[in-house]
Each structure stands twice: as C-alpha cells, then as structure tokens.
Amino acid sequence: MEFFNQIRSILTVGLILFFVAESAIIQISEAEAKKWLNKYNVDAEKYFFEATEADWNYNTNLTDYNLAISVSLFSNDLANFTETKAKEANKFAWKNFTDELLKREFSKITDIGPASLSDKDFQRMSTLNSDMTKIYSTAKVCNKPNDSSGKCYPLDPDLSGVIAKSNDLDELTWAWKGWRDASGKLMPDMYEEFVSLLNKAAKINGYEDNGDYWRSWYESPTFRKDCEDLWLEIKPFYEQLHAYVRRKLQQKYPKLSFPKDGHIPAHLLGNMWAQAWNNIEYMVRPAPDLPSMDITDELVKQNYTALKIFQLSDQFFKSLGLIPMPEPFWQKSMIVKPADRDVVCHASAWDFYNRKDFRIKQCTTVNMGWFMTTHHEMGHIEYYLQYKEQPINFRSGANPGFHEAIADIASLSVATPEYLKSVGLLPNFVDNPSGDLNFLMNQALSKVAFLPFGYMIDQWRWDVFSGQTPRSQYNSKWWQNRCKYQGIYPPVKRSEFDFDAGSKFHVPNNTPYIRYFVAHIIQYQFQEALCKAAGNTRPLHRCNVAGSKEAGKKLSELMTSGASIPWPKVLQKLTGTDKMSAKPLMAYFKPLIDWLKKENQGQKVGWDEKCPPGSL
C-alpha cells in the first residue's frame, strides 16, 4: 500500500509540475501575444484607414477610376493584411489563453470572413459588390405620366418624393415599378455569383454558409429562435396597426380594389419599400383636428439647412455630456447631394479607424425624415467616438444591433413633443390624450411598421445562402415573405424576371439587416434604463433625456466597451437583464394599442399568409 501511495505522490507532484510548466508557457505566450497585438493594432489602423478612405472616395464620386482604387486596396492590401495577420495570430495557442479579453481579441482577428478567399475570388466578389451598388446608386426612371419633358428621375429625392407625397395611382405605380426595373431587375445573375463567393468564404472559415457566419456575430446558438419569439410577441400589435391603416387607405382610394385576403398594395404606404409608413400619417391621424407631429413645415419656415440640422443634432449629444463632433467631421462629411457627380445617397456613418476622422454621407433635404435620419447617423458617430481607444477589432457595437439601437436612441427623445417644443419646432402641440395618440401613431408608423420588414429581409437572405431558395425562386420567395410578414403585396404582377430584393440598398450593398430588427427592440430597453437614470416621471413615450448628464453617463458606459464584452453582459449592466425583450416597446405603445383594439372592433384584423392570386 505504501508503495502505491509513493507512486501516487510522485504522479501528483509530476502533474503539478506539468501544469505549472504549462501555465508558465501559456503566460510567456500571452506576454508575447500582447507585444504582437500592439504592433498589429498600429499597422491595422493604417490599412483600415487607407481602404476606408478609398471606399469613401468611390461612394462620394462614382467613377471607374475610384472604383478601381477601392477594389485594389480592399483586394490587394487590406485583405492580404487581414489574411496574413490571421495566420500569424493562429501561431499562438490563443484558445488556451487565461486572459479572456486577450482570447476574445485573437478570436476576432482570426475570423477574417471573405478575406479568406483567393485574391482572384476576393477581387471578383468586390467588383460584383461595387457593380451592384453602382447600379443601385445611378439608376433613374424616365417617362413619368403626364410629363413630356423627357426627364429621368433618380431615387432621391424624386422617386422617393413621388411615393411619399403623390395620391395619383398611375404616378405611384410608375415610380414603384420603374425603380425596380431600373435597379434590382439588372442584378440577379450578379447576385447569384456574389452569394456563391460569400458561401465559399464562409465554408473556408468553418461555417455552414454565409447566413451561419452572419448569425455567429450574435454569439447565441438560439439567436434565430430568439428573433422569431420577439416577432411573435409583437405581431398582434402590428396586425392591429395594419388593420387600421388598411381601412383608412380603402377610404382614401375607394376605386382601388383591395384583395379580400387582407393585404395592402405596397405602393400606397408612403415609402418605396413600405418599410415605414409615417408619410401617410395625415391619412391615419387619430385626432385629425389636432396639429401634426410632422415638423417639416416648421423646419422650412425657420430656414433650416442641412448644416443647421446637423448642428442641432450635435447639441443633443453634447447636452448629455457626450463627445462633440470633431473638426474633421464638419470639414469632410458629405451632408447634401453634390450637383456635379453621381454619389451613393444612402445615409451612412463612417469610422476611418485613425481615432480622429469620422464622417457622415447623406443627401439631406430639409424635412422631418431627414431630421430623424441625421440624429440616427450622428448616434453612430457618437458610438465610434466613445470606443475609439479600443483595439481595432473591438471598435464595433457589442453586437450589430447595438449600433443601430444606439443610433436610434436620440430619435426616441428628439421626436417627443417636449424636445421639439424646447427647440422651437413644435409650437402648437396640444398636450392632451388625443395629442398623445397622434404622437404615438406617428412613432408606430415609423418604428412598429418597420418590424416585419426588418425581420423578413434576412429570413429571405439566410434561405438564399443556405440554398433553400435557389436563383429560380429569388423573387417569388421575396414576395412570399413580404406577404406573410408585412401583409402587403405588389401593385403589379411580379415574376422571376424581376429581382425586387435588389431594389433595397442593403441587398446589393451586402449589409446584414436583422440588426435593424434587433435594434428596434432593444432601443426601448435602453431608453427605459436611460429614462430611469434621468429621473423621468412621465410615461415612457414622453421621456426626453436631453440635458441629463446621468443618462449620458449610462450611455457612455455602454458605448465605451465597444465589442470587448459579450453583449448580454453589456445589456445586463444597463438594463438589469441579459435577454432581449419586447416588453418596454409594448409598454411604450400601450395607449395606442388599447385605442387600436377599440377602433378595430368588428373589423377584419390580419391577412392570409399567401400572396393574393395573380400577384406572382
């Protein structure tokens, strides 16, 4: 027995020495890894800046010359750098690191996405991406009804303006169909090849397909189910809003035959993609005798310019004690559409990765929609400013939805009557329950109407990536999703010769979209927590956090960590829960929900999931 005890003691000491030695090796490896990271981050800033600058130059001046430079820098420089550094990082046993933050940074460096493709494939993918974006950004529609000028019209501000303002059904149909003919219809073969390259890269990196890769960013094995559960929780509210709006549109267009299965024609909702319905607010306002919440006329009356809107937005963030826009922002941003060249007008915020250069690109016109968009994009910039000192691979949102939610935080406050009155843009608001309903309806037309659209785009795209939706079904599956989730249908017959997904910027530009759905849920969780910090005593929908340094401090704490901490922990720290929840959203809109249920009593609520016969 003594012999076995001695052997056991020797083995125990041996194991201890082994683990001590292994631990020492790991510590040495971690020390070397930190030295390697310091140089990596310095070099990465240079490569990311140069590639982003080239991409900016192309987006703000759509020439073949700028395209060639942009593709070259992404393909030959940034992609090669990313791939080389991933290989170097994998020489470290980083999965065994004891420093969790260090391990997290290495995991992001080694997850290189499309950069894993061969130079030839990556360049082809970049060219396809740029070509589709150029088609989208330069598309124009001619032969406007009752217009003999021969003029052709771009999306912004012309076609978007027709959809937003016109009540002429022929004109609405012309703009709706014409935009899709001039943009998406030219892309499906390119998109099919593009998808094959995205999937090839995803499989090289160990994912089933590109959808699997995109979902990995949310660090949750149940993410898809979580989103579905959130949608099902919100769906009854959306159905009530849909039913009320449908009835008002039927009254507005009595000669137009609405299908009996309950769908709404997609060109009647005031937006080219029917993703937000606030442009038809005047038709559906609960208290039509009270003033509108639309401040467009007041902005024009007070001689607002794009610059003045941006300056007011900057003032909102400064009132929270957050970081003012730096001087390069004002010098280098593109805030109006240039008259002398084609540009990508789709609004976007840009981080140039050198910790001092941040810009916005948008073709601002003076109206409420762009007023809200400006605050949204400035919210992105504020997030960039807050985490700019993080290592480069942590300079992003805690998850992609966080960035969009933070960007929308400003809109929840600046849309309130309290804020708009405080800056002189809503002088005639009547503060009573009917005025409250008008405000909530305006918010619902923007926020709640968007939710099924934000949900369905990546449902469609994930099925394309997985092969469940082949090229021959791109358009039919697109409309099956829109009919099912949004309860809308195309105003003219569609076929597989069309590619209506390509008429939405984020598809040809390859921007994942489920982030916007996530953002539209969690922004209300954020707002609830910020309002509590600000000492708000009003209902959640009337909370304006402008001027609250306490709310600003909470918001700054959330933003500063970037992607260095898993998002559930960031959410837990701010809100007290690590789960996404629709409860704050439902609480925000409760007065409107109750009112809609009463208004819709005895009326058809909902729609058939299948598209109306003859539409496809």
Evaluate if residue 73 carries a pLDDT over 50. Answer: yes
**pLDDT number for residue 292:** 81
Mean pLDDT of the 59-87 span:
87
CA atoms of 314 and 306, how far apart (whole Å): 13
Which spans in 166-280 are helix H? 169-182, 188-204, 210-216, 223-252
Buried b / exposed e along 468-498 (16+ C-beta atoms within 10 A): ebeeeebbbbbbbbbbbbbbbbbbeebeeeb
Question: What percent of the chain stands above pLDDT 90?
Answer: 88
CA atoms of 509 and 198, how far apart (whole Å): 13
**pLDDT number for residue 74:** 63
CA atoms of 251 and 290, how far apart (whole Å): 20
Task: Reply yes or no on whether 403 is catalytic.
Answer: no
Which spans in 253-363 are helix H? 281-284, 296-301, 306-319, 327-332
The one catalytic residue in 418, 506, 550, 599 is 506
pLDDT digits (tens, 9 = 90+) for 429-454: 878 888 899 999 999 999 999 999 99
**pLDDT number for residue 70:** 86
Evaluate if residue 218 carries a pLDDT over 70. Answer: yes
**pLDDT number for residue 23:** 46
* DSSP helix/strand/coil, 141: strand
**pLDDT number for residue 263:** 97
* DSSP helix/strand/coil, 590: helix
Which spans in 534-606 are helix H? 549-560, 567-575, 583-588, 590-599
Question: What percent of the chain stands above pLDDT 70?
Answer: 95
* CA nearest neighbour of 386 among 403, 374, 399, 362: 403
Q: Which fold has domain 210-289+391-616?
A: Neurolysin; domain 3 (1.10.1370)
Beta strands 348-351; 153-154: pairing state:
unpaired
**pLDDT number for residue 25:** 43
The one catalytic residue in 239, 377, 382, 528 is 377
515 is in an annotated binding site: yes
Give the distance between the most distant pair of CA atoms in the chain.
107
395 is in an annotated binding site: no
Evaluate if residue 17 carries a pLDDT over 50. Answer: no
**Average pLDDT of every residue of the chain:** 93
Evaluate if residue 29 carries a pLDDT over 50. Answer: yes
Sorted by sequence, the CB contacts under 8 Å of residue 406 that are 6+ apart come out as 379, 380, 382, 383, 397, 523, 526, 555, 558, 559
pLDDT digits (tens, 9 = 90+) for 333-342: 999 999 999 9
CA atoms of 156 and 422, how far apart (whole Å): 31
* CA nearest neighbour of 381 among 356, 400, 399: 356
**pLDDT number for residue 338:** 95
**pLDDT number for residue 428:** 82
380 is in an annotated binding site: yes
Mean pLDDT of the 342-370 span:
95
124 is in an annotated binding site: no
Mean pLDDT of the 302-316 span:
98
Between the CA of residue 434 and those of 65, 438, 544, what are the distances in Å? 56, 6, 19
CA atoms of 119 and 125, how far apart (whole Å): 10
Give, for 358, the enclosing helix (H) or strand (E).
Answer: strand 358-361
**pLDDT number for residue 28:** 62
Evaluate if residue 4 carries a pLDDT over 50. Answer: no
Mean pLDDT of the 202-227 span:
95
User: Binning pLDDT at 50, 70 and 90, where does residue 374 land?
Assistant: very high
Q: In this predicted structure, which of 160-164, 169-173, 291-295 has the lowest mean pLDDT? A: 291-295
Q: In this predicted structure, which of 19-33, 81-95, 257-271 has the lowest mean pLDDT? A: 19-33
Task: Reply yes or no on whether 506 is catalytic.
Answer: yes
Count Cα neighbours of 128 within 13 Å in the Cβ-side half-sphere: 22
Mean pLDDT of the 397-401 span:
95
Q: Following CA atoms 54, 396, 108, 118 in sequence, which dihedral angle do they give, to the nearest 10 degrees?
A: -30
**pLDDT number for residue 75:** 59
**pLDDT number for residue 27:** 52
375 is in an annotated binding site: no
* DSSP helix/strand/coil, 315: helix
Say if residue 157 is preceded by a cis peptide, omega within 30 of 0: yes
Mean pLDDT of the 256-262 span:
92
pLDDT digits (tens, 9 = 90+) for 135-167: 999 999 999 998 888 899 999 989 999 999 999
Angle 306-319/400-414 helices, nearest 10 degrees? 100
Evaluate if residue 569 carries a pLDDT over 60. Answer: yes
* CA nearest neighbour of 182 among 164, 158, 165, 148: 158
Evaluate if residue 20 carries a pLDDT over 80. Answer: no
Query: Domain segments of the chain: what residues?
Result: 2-129, 210-289+391-616
